[in-house]
Amino acid sequence: MLEEIVVATGNPHKLDEVSRVLSGIGVRAVSLNDVTLPDGSPAGGAPEPVEDAATFAGNAAIKACYYAALTDRVCLADDSGLEVDALGGEPGVLSARYAGVDGDRATRDAANNAKLIAAIRKVPEGERTARFVCAMCVADPDGAILAEARGEFAGTVITEPRGSNGFGYDPLLELPEGKTSAELAPEEKNARSHRGQATRLIAQKLAAMV
């Protein structure tokens, strides 16, 4: 039975969401910064792979295989983002770098949100449907794909951010009941979110491999 898995992210929010689910099947999730490479450096400091796939699933597989080989551990990676129907699916796979790559995570999030708000203002309110998408992949050090999954979390994009939970575009996706993703308690978000869905499917597949 797999006891530990490396989650290929430097985002503590993602690690926490994944950890909560995988702990239910007895799998401990660790971050790249918890894994030491042969030269003594943390894996989180290694050069990142080029995520040049056209789909979330493709990018997740690139990351999972790269970090599994790098760390010599089974690795889980995800690629996630927001798809806005009226914007032709943008920001899509470019969600994390929609407004560029300058600054720290909080700075990039703010710039991405500002760009999305500017774009969506031109769209009638009734046509602002969107969804968060998460594609997840688990690979072993030999490059074999052990499991893949996809989750979605649908709503509409608003122009006034609300809520302090979550990260990224969470304050801008309003759910059918009127709350934004960022207004959900962590437990409720995990139970419903795109990443929660994908992680639960991955957990089922890993548990079935015992």
Residues that are catalytic: 79
- Contact 207/143 with Cβ under 8 angstroms? no
Residue with tokens 């943008």: 90
- Contact 116/94 with Cβ under 8 angstroms? no
CA 90 from centroid of its chain's CA atoms: 16
Contacting residues for 147 by C-beta, under 8 A, at least 6 apart: 136, 137, 138, 202, 205, 206, 209
